[in-house]
């Protein structure tokens, strides 16, 4: 059975990084000693090391041990040796491109499908669907395909908000864009 928590964001207004998820994270990773963090989405251009350090400092507050996928030479071996996975937010295109480039789709899906606890936030949630075709992100890089981890049988738009009634905005809403996607991709 899969053990997954898919969150729309890592930070909510007025709180620190992941703070609102602390009880959920403690429960999800209660039996995990080696949690792997995958920093490839790089929010605001953060380096992999800086992003991993942020997560490590945060998880330290929960007495949880984290290592970054770049901490050792072989990313696939790092996936195989972990007993928990966290993929953080940032840019979904950059994240998926990196995961594809390092041939990590199969190892990640195998690990999560076998019951390894998984936390995704924002882009880390977005890539759990069948594709990233409904993301709000800018395509700053171009992955070989938009197909993603397929851990759940549908797509997610983690930052979806309903249109504001009475708004004077004349652009397309997220709802319209998602309907357009499904018209050509179902």
Give residue-wise pLDDT tens across range 83-134. 999 999 999 999 999 999 999 999 999 999 999 999 999 999 999 999 999 9
CB atoms within 10 A of CB 97: 19
Domain residues for the domain of 152 are: 4-161
Domain containing residue 93: CATH number: 3.40.50.880
Q: How many domains does the chain have?
A: 1
Cβ atoms of residues 137 and 125 within 8 Å: no
Say whether pLDDT at 69 is over 70. yes
Q: Is residue 167 part of a domain?
A: no
CB atoms within 10 A of CB 93: 21
- pLDDT tens digits, 127-175: 999 999 999 899 999 999 999 999 999 998 887 777 778 877 666 666 7
Tokens 């964001």 -> residue: 9
Active-site residue, from 8, 48, 65, 159: 159
Q: Is residue 76 part of a domain?
A: yes
Q: Is residue 41 part of a domain?
A: yes
Q: Is residue 60 part of a domain?
A: yes
Position 171 scores a pLDDT of: 67
Q: Is residue 17 part of a domain?
A: yes
Active-site residue, from 32, 92, 98, 137: 137
Position 26 scores a pLDDT of: 98
Q: Is residue 43 part of a domain?
A: yes
Name the residue among 95, 99, 87 with its Cα closest to residue 141. Answer: 95
Cβ atoms of residues 96 and 146 within 8 Å: yes
For residue 43, what pLDDT band results from cuts at 50, 70 and 90? confident
Active-site residue, from 98, 122, 131, 148: 122
159 as an active site residue: the answer is yes
Q: Is residue 58 part of a domain?
A: yes
């Amino acid at each position: 059975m899969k053990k997954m928590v898919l969150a729309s964001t890592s930070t909510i207004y007025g709180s620190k990084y992941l703070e609102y998820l602390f009880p959920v994270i403690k429960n999800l990773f209660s039996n995990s000693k080696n949690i792997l963090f995958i920093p490839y989405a790089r929010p605001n251009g953060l380096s992999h090391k800086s992003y991993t350090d942020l997560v490590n400092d945060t998880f330290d507050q929960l007495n949880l041990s984290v290592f970054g996928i770049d901490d050792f030479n072989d990313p696939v071996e790092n996936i195989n040796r972990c007993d928990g996975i966290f993929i953080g937010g940032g840019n979904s295109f950059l994240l998926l491109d990196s995961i594809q480039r390092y041939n990590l789709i199969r190892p990640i899906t195998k690990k999560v499908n076998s019951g390894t606890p998984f936390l995704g936030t924002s882009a880390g949630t977005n890539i759990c669907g069948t594709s990233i075709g409904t993301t709000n992100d800018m395509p700053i890089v171009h992955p070989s395909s938009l197909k993603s981890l397929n851990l759940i049988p549908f797509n997610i738009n983690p930052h979806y908000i309903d249109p504001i009634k009475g708004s004077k905005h004349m652009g397309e809403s997220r709802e319209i864009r998602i309907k357009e996607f499904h018209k050509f991709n179902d």
